[in-house]
Amino acid sequence: MEIGIDSFAAASIENENNTAENNSQSLKELLARIAFADEMGLNVFGIGEHHRKEFLDASPTIILAAAAAITKQIKLTSAVTVLSAADPVRVFQNFATLDLISKGRTEIVVGRGSFTEAFPLFGYHVHDYDELFTEKLNLLLEICKNETISWNGKFRPSLINQTIYPRPFQNKLPVWLGVGGTPASFVRAGQLGLPLMVAIIGGETHRFKPLIDLYREAGRKAGHSSEQLKVGLHSLGYVANTTQEAIDDYYPGYAETFTKIGRERGWPPVTRTRFDSQIGDLGAILIGSPEEVSQKILRHSEALGGISRVTFQMDSAGLSHEKHLKAIELIGKKVMPLVNL
């Protein structure tokens, strides 16, 4: 099983005014964590895409390109690329260039994003949410397969016998489909034969099994091999020496962040009781000692019928750079060997 980190390039929680100096330092520390993850043998590092004050990942391929120059083995991916509000031609060109810089270590995870600020920012309407994504995904996959294409759509000017460069280092850029909880998205990924990255940030992980079954069945009916139909799990998580230490480090920042998001979305404030249910045996959050987190990953994999990848999303809890580094070390030195015995 591949194990890695996903980051949203969170600005320092002390940096309420988003000063340039502090933002620069946050990105410097993020790049240091990616390099350290590579050194610790982690398999993958993903950068999200947001267009909000509290995150610095509005241009993820630039961060990933900087990381490519200071790493050797780790795969570099998006987490996720908000394809609905992007031009698939530019998405392909950016990631193909990244693939050349990294010598074939690039992947794309495409999705629609959990926030909607990208739609008005780039001149799109949220009511076109599904139609935008469907059209742009189909175009991106066509570009990945063919250097020269002719294409017509609703949301972008037509391409008439147009050749698109550069081509990636790999024969074909790997494209994963990032999904939340919409059954149609799981079926679409299966029909297209795309690897599936499931973001589970709350609830009980095993409850996603029927949706993953839909994905695998749709893929089987479409004639795709089981090797193509990989399932990855993106989870909130954090590892410390002991479970109590992990909780003490993680909970205050987690509660602050998700209470703030909850005010935007109409969720109730975070409570310790609710948090404790999320870190229990069946809960979605991967938090604890290396031994406890390893066991939970294996339980999740069994409950979901087998998973190929797990990524920890740690930077929503305001953790210090030093705590991030220690968690990465524990994941590389202890969690990965325990999961992959």
What does the pLDDT look like over 40-51, one tens digit per residue? 999 999 999 999
> 3-state class of 86 per DSSP?
coil
What average pLDDT score do residues 264-292 get?
93
Q: What is the 8-class DSSP label of residue 75?
A: E
Distances from the Cα of 53 to the Cαs of 30, 73, 126, 253, 310, in angstroms? 17, 32, 20, 17, 27
First to last CA, the chain: 10
Q: Does the pLDDT of residue 249 top 60, yes or no?
A: yes
Residue 16: pLDDT band with limits 50, 70, 90: low
The two structure tokens encoding residue 227? 């090797």
Highest mean pLDDT among 14-23, 108-117, 268-277, 297-306: 297-306
Residue 232 pLDDT class (50, 70, 90 cuts): very high
Q: Could you tell me the fold of the domain covering 2-339?
A: TIM Barrel (3.20.20)
Q: Summarize the confidence of residues 305-316 as an average pLDDT.
A: 96
Nearest to 148 by CA among 167, 131, 129, 130: 167
Structure tokens at 280: 């229990």
pLDDT for residue 114 is more than 80: no
pLDDT class of 264 with cuts at 50, 70, 90:
confident
Summarised one tens digit per residue, pLDDT across range 151-203 is 999 999 999 999 999 999 999 999 999 999 899 999 999 999 999 999 999 89
Considering the chain, what is the average pLDDT of its residues?
Answer: 95
Mean pLDDT of 66-75: 98
Model confidence at 209: pLDDT above 70: yes
| C-alpha gyration radius of the chain | 19
Please report, as a single letter, which amino acid is at residue 266: G
DSSP-derived letter for residue 95 is H
pLDDT (mean) for 211-232:
97
Which residue in this structure is represented by tokens 């630039």?
Answer: 62
Q: Which of 31, 49, 109, 37 is nearest to 77 (CA)?
A: 109
Q: Which residues of 206-231 are buried (b: 16+ CB within 10 A; e: fewer)?
A: eebeebbebbbebbeeeebeeeebbb
Asked whether residue 18 carries a pLDDT value surpassing 80, the answer given is no
Sign of CA dihedral 298, 304, 305, 310: negative
Residue 186 and residue 194 in contact, taking contact as beta carbons nearer than 8 Å: no
Count other Cβ atoms within 10 Å, centred on residue 86: 19
Quick one: pLDDT at residue 135? 97
Beta pairing, strands 2-7 & 309-313: parallel
**CB-side exposure of 309: number of CA atoms within 13 Å?**
24
pLDDT at 224: 97
The residue whose two tokens read 């780039």 is: 122
Which tokens sit at 274?
């609710």
pLDDT-based confidence at 13, cuts 50/70/90? low
User: Is it the case that residue 17 has pLDDT exceeding 70?
Assistant: no
- Tell which residue, 24, 38, 95, 44, has the closest CA to residue 72: 38
Q: By three-state DSSP, how is residue 309 classified?
A: strand
The enclosing H or E element of 175 equals strand 175-179
Q: What is the pLDDT of residue 116?
A: 85
Query: Percent of the chain beyond pLDDT 70?
Result: 98
Is a pLDDT exceeding 80 seen at residue 15?
no
**pLDDT value at residue 181:** 86
- Asked whether the beta carbons of 250 and 257 are under 8 A apart, the reply is no
Contact (Cβ atoms closer than 8 angstroms) between residue 74 and residue 106: no
pTM: 0.95
Whether 20 shows a pLDDT value over 80: the answer reads yes
Question: Where does residue 340 rank: exposed (0-12), middle (13-18), buried (19+ CB within 10 A)?
Answer: exposed
> d(Cα 48, Cα 8) in Å, to the nearest integer?
5
Query: How does residue 291 score in pLDDT terms, banded at 50, 70 and 90?
Result: very high
Phi, psi of 234 (to 5 degrees): -100, 115
In terms of Cβ atoms closer than 10 Å to its own Cβ (0-12, 13-18, 19+), residue 35 is: middle
DSSP letter, residue 124: -
Amino acid (1-letter code) at residue 123: G
